Amino acid sequence: MTSAHSNTSAYDHLRALFSRLSRFGHLSAIAGWDMQTMMPPGGSKARSEALAELSVLQHQILTAESTGALLDRAQQETLDELDRANLREMRRQYEDAVLLPASLVEAKSLAGARCEHAWRAQRPANDWDGFAENLREVVKLSREEAQIRAQAAGTSRYDALLNLYEPGMRSSDLDRIFGDLKTWLPDLLQRVVAKQANEPCQTPQGPFNVDTQRHLSLSVMKLLGFNFDNGRVDVSAHPFCGGVPEDVRITTRYNEKEFLTALLGIVHETGHARYEQNLPRDLLGQPVALARSTAIHESQSLLFEMQLARGNEFLKILRPLVTAQFGEQPALEEANFIRLNQRVKPGLIRVDADEVSYPAHVILRYEIEKALIEGEVEVEDIPALWNEKMHAYLGLDTIGNYRNGCMQDIHWTDGAFGYFPTYTLGAMYAAQLFHSVRQALPSLSEDIAAGNLQPLFHWLQHNIWRHGSRFPTETLIANATGEALNPRYFRQHLENRYL
């Protein structure tokens, strides 16, 4: 990256400072990954304290008075377009951090770690009361943070947190987008379920050995271009992608009774990983080299999982990898295997949901967390609200079933309020991007059917991955597809595939 400034410029000092912060972030990410995969339960308290200490240290470096002065000086320097974008992202990180006192950063980190660690045992035990006790503290601190951010930005409390995940997005935008979705999705869902009722579908017969599933995971990651020199796959209570671009850690969870959940979890997380592994390497350690936003991150994982992996062409090349591990059986015959992966059936668990019912899970969580942060409801109101919305949107009941109801997700345990909407925004971006790929690559279907995924990956690399945070989300999507977010591609995709 070349720039028109001398070696001792304020901008150069900032680059060095953000590289240092990035290294601390690297350590924090790997310690967090270990906490969820390898760490013995007894290590939780010490690890939580160590991570909180690290987050306070990063916060102190980032929010030092000298950092603000350097940002002001760098603003006056002559920089090229890429450096200017990097400076914009540095300032965004600084302004997000400088608002919060270090004591709140530490308290949030500790409360989140405590809640998440306890949740791992409380969820299987269906212990809502125990969970609620820890969640109250997380919500209290999240409201404090939201209040501080909202005052500075002149927005609502929820919008101030949403902005951390999806810069520039407002709940008024979400209300419009989700409001439209609610007018046509329930009917589409009913029509698809009715149509599929006449299409018998056999379930694969297990057990499916975990080691064999792991071998299958590795072969699918290889097909999807995962770079094993810069990453690995492990097991955790909740699938995730973590680490850093040079060392990406993905996880799934295996179940001997069925293999598709773990397999599609792997495809999803590999989508996240490919994005991370292909962020601009020459700028690593700089904010401009980070993923653009949470919804753009989700668009990559959902493009892999939903647009690509549940399409007929990909399922035909995936099937031989599955039968190579588990052998042939009637349920794995091609037509049934495709039906199995395109089955639409409203269920209780978000991460297992098909792509037609999935947005209902997201809207439910968005409406509850928004009311929670705005102080309109309290933690004790969550189970009843959850059941009411589950019934309205999916026709399902969760009374007394906290484990598969309001305790199923990890996000609220560490105060990630504002995250959930990005899943459905990501699904919409994914549909729009895939539509553009099809326009740009007329032979895409034939390429996928032949197992040649390189043209797709090359398009994503050129249009999304290599740009990191160089452009605001709206510009990134408009450059790639010719327009800003347009939810009609999502509807079109669902109707084409399922009706």
Which residues have a catalytic role annotated?
A: 269
Q: Are 360 and 394 in contact (CB under 8 A)?
A: yes
Residue spans of alpha helices (H) in 278-311: 294-302
Residue 201: HSE in the Cβ half-sphere, 13 Å Cα cutoff: 16
Gyration radius from the chain CA atoms: 23
The residue type found at 410 is: I
Q: Which residues pair with 235 in a beta bridge?
A: 252
The residue type at 74:
A
Question: How many alpha carbons lie under 13 Å from residue 437 in its C-beta half-sphere?
Answer: 27
Whether the Cβ atoms of residue 477 and residue 434 lie closer than 8 Å to each other: no
Cβ neighbours of 393 (radius 10 Å): 20
Tokens of 462: 């050129």
Half-sphere exposure of 450 (CA within 13 A, CB side): 9
**Half-sphere exposure of 73 toward its Cβ, with a 13 Å CA cutoff?**
14
Task: Tell me if 353 sits within 8 A of 347, measured CB to CB.
Answer: yes
State the virtual CA torsion across 427, 448, 253, 30 in degrees, nearest 10.
-80
Instruction: Determine the distance from the C-alpha atom of residue 143 to the mean position of all C-alpha atoms in its chain, rounded to a whole number.
Output: 22
Please tell me the distance from the alpha carbon of residue 213 to that of residue 322, in angstroms, as a whole number: 9
Tokens 């990180």 -> residue: 93
Q: Is the dihedral of CA 213, 214, 217, 222 positive or negative?
A: negative
Q: How far is CA 334 from the centre of its chain?
A: 31
How many other CB atoms are found less than 10 A from the CB of residue 409?
18
Question: What sign does the dihedral 383-384-390-396 (CA atoms) show?
Answer: positive
242, β-bridge pairs: 249
Tell me the DSSP string of 95-154: HHHHTS-HHHHHHHHHHHHHHHHHHHHHTTTT-HHHHHHHHHHHHHHHHHHHHHHHHHHT
Rounded Cα distance between 460 and 317, Å, is 21
